[in-house]
Amino acid sequence: MTHPIFRKDIFIGTPFEIRFQAMLRSALHKRSWHLIVADPGAGKTMGIRELVRTVGSPTILAVVAPKNNEDESALGNQLWSALGLPLRGHWSNRKPKLMGYLHQYGTECLIVDDAHDLEFAHLLFIKELTDQGRLQYDHPLGLCLVAAGRGDMIPLKETLYQPDPTWLQFRRRLDKMEPFCKIPGHTSEEVREILAALETVYREALPQLNLRRWSSSIYTWLTQLALDPTNSGRVTMDNLMTLVTAALEWSYEAKATDVLAGMLEKAASLLVLHRDTLKLIDGAGPSTEAPQPPSTEQGNGSKTEPETKPAQEAAQTDHDPRNTETVVTAGEQVQPVKTPKCTFPGKVSIELKRFQDSGTQLVECPDCGRTRTLTPLKGVIKFPSHEKRKTNTPNIGKRWVMREMIWNVVGG
């Protein structure tokens, strides 16, 4: 049975959230305009929700940019509903009253999440609404357009830098010193801080939880090319929580009191190597039983054996951020386990010409994940007989495995 704490939506004041909310509070205090960009999954929506909860609505009015609706009324109706007003009457009659209500309710800052989805009409409506507030009510409004973007990409910049006078006026309203802001993810040290906070949160389920000793390995896993395509060296909260909570939940179901190394490696392998792999769900569907720890784990799962000195040194060694090696315990080094033969029959249903045109060199066994060279023999493509890959030491660092999997060749 899964512990209820793994199903709770938990907010943690991470370094990213501190930076992000500080920018939002600055816009609220100065009534300034900013376009704020952060990686997808960094925690923008969670931070906005927490800020609205602490500061209070409608002092801060937060809405989501309309999708697939170019009408200004789509955004206007969201602001109207955020104030708690009923949507009665035609939009043309309600539109002139909106700024009056914002002034009456004491709204000081507007936040638009997913601002990369805003259309021309939405931006023009924002300008018209705020201009009305200054002219008729002497009520300036702060504005934060929060968008998702990677690398040096700045959403909406091409739109705002058009030569029309309307966009020139819009740009003049942006903050003079900080018009476009990028909020980065977490460094290696910040990941360690977050893991320390998670230890406190999840200690109810795992009393001896110690995540910090795995901080270097977790950081290395989460900065692989699949999860960090721009090589920023930063970790997003979404990827971190996905990996950690999956490993903790499996460890709890295995009746452990601390996170199991095999569960962390299994979660990292699924997240990094197999995130884009099509998995066939057949028969009775996924099992509700907890994954069993690797056979090299000592003990029965309910108690954790004290680590030897070499194992502690291996777990606590500071890795290079680009190091692709995984942490291997001392028991795994001196006690190799003989792996059985894989039962995969070896026949691959793919046209010979299509395989040759693909240029694929290495493919992955769909049963055990071991990679082998796939070569045609007498017009038939077969996967060579092989032993199962050791699940306790997945080769997560080889980034090319994903690009060379046969499933990408055959289209799933």
Q: What is the pLDDT of residues 119-164, one digit of tens each?
A: 999 999 999 999 999 999 999 999 999 999 998 889 998 889 899 9
pTM greater than 0.85 (yes/no): no
Radius of gyration of the chain (CA): 26
H or E segment to which residue 198 belongs: helix 188-202
Which phi and psi (to 5°) does residue 372 adopt?
Answer: -145, 160
Please count the helices (runs of H) and the strands (runs of E) in the chain: 16, 9
Please state, in angstroms and rounded to a whole number, the distance separating the CA atoms of residues 190 and 176: 30
pLDDT recorded at residue 335: 41
How is residue 70 written in tokens?
Answer: 């170019």
pLDDT tens-digit readout, 81-102: 999 999 999 999 999 999 999 9
pLDDT: is 240 or 270 the higher one?
240
Q: Give CA–CA dist 358/409, Å, rounded.
A: 6
Average per-residue pLDDT for the chain: 80
Tokens of 219: 């950081």
| Nearest one of 357, 361, 380, 358 to 371, comparing CA atoms | 361
Whether cis (ω within 30° of 0) applies to the bond prior to 293 is no
pLDDT digit string (tens) for 361-389? 567 676 676 777 766 766 666 767 777 66
Residue 284: enclosing H or E segment and its boundaries?
A: none
**Degrees to nearest 5, angle at CA 45 with 44 and 47:** 65
**Which residues are CB-neighbours of 188 under 8 A, at least 6 positions away?**
215, 216, 219, 321
Q: Which two tokens stand for residue 271?
A: 């997240």
Q: Let me know: does 403 contact 368? Beta carbons within 8 Å.
A: no
Q: Which tokens is 333 given?
A: 């080094």
C-alpha distances in angstroms, 61 versus 51, 143, 274?
Answer: 10, 10, 40
The band of 280, judged by pLDDT with boundaries at 50, 70 and 90, is low
pLDDT at 348: 60
Give the pLDDT confidence score for residue 369 in this predicted structure.
67
